[in-house]
Amino acid sequence: MYDWVTHMHTHLGGRCSHECSYCYVQRGRAQLSEKYKGPIRLLEHEFQVNYGEGKTIFIEHMNDMFAPGVKDPWVAAILNHCFQYPKNKYVFQTKNAPRLKEFRFDVFPDCLVGTTIESNRDYSEISKAVRPYDRYQGMMSLGRVKKFVTIEPILDFDVETMVEWLEDLKPEFVNIGADSKKSGLPEPSKEKIVRLVRALQAAKIPIWKKINLERIVGDTFNASA
């Protein structure tokens, strides 16, 4: 998870319908939990949680609250729970970015809305989520809201297209990380990642790199920092 969030919370039980092959929820200790098995469902008791204030809270870190199958009233109820505690920053992230425009985020004093674009290429064998192009278009259709993009776990990509999309989106920052679960993913070369990072730096798009990226790029960025 991100080291810039202070808290995480989930109102949804059941298995995320995107079924990404690298899903962390289906690995390790989380896979032992009945909570994240079976059909998607709303966990009513989770609405009792008092979010307090002064936190940066990642909402639905074990699922995708905008995935198909998560009913509109459920999404509205989750957003409303957050809205009851306006003195926090909320982080909403989805691979189903085309659905984001159906909801209001501008009512939050502080929130970040992000999508995962592991690559510009389609990898339907890795995830059932909508195509990366549709995620890019979904984010483009969002109004005035702070956006971020996470390229994690990074998959082999085309540098020019990725840079074009990210320049269009003008995110607050881009998170870049690699697979840390030995999922056997098609990964880009070190050279491609370096070209991407250099291009984003030239475009003045802040980049938050995960330490696990060093498995592919070594200490390239540390050495040139």
- List residues near ligand SF4 by CB under 6 A: 16, 18-20, 23, 25, 63-64, 95
- Of 23 and 178, nearer to ligand SF4 (C-beta) is 23
Please state the closest distance from residue 86 (CB atom) to ligand SF4, in A. 27
Q: Which two tokens stand for residue 98?
A: 């085309």
Separation CA 201–CA 222 (nearest Å) = 15
Tokens of 150: 């996470």
Q: Which residue has the tokens 């971020």?
A: 148
For every residue of 48-88, DSSP letters joined together read: G----SS-EEEE-TTS-TTSTTS-HHHHHHHHHHHHT-TTS
d(CA 35, CA 41) in angstroms, rounded, equals 10
Measured from the CB atom, is 132 or 205 closer to ligand SF4?
132
Smallest distance, ligand SF4 to C-beta of residue 117, A: 12
Q: Which residue has the tokens 């070594």?
A: 218
**Residue (62 or 193) nearer to ligand SF4, CB:** 62
Which residue, 18 or 192, has its beta carbon nearer to ligand SF4?
A: 18
Q: How far is the CB of 218 from ligand SF4 (least distance, A)?
A: 26
Q: What is the nearest approach in angstroms of ligand SF4 to the Cβ of residue 160?
A: 26
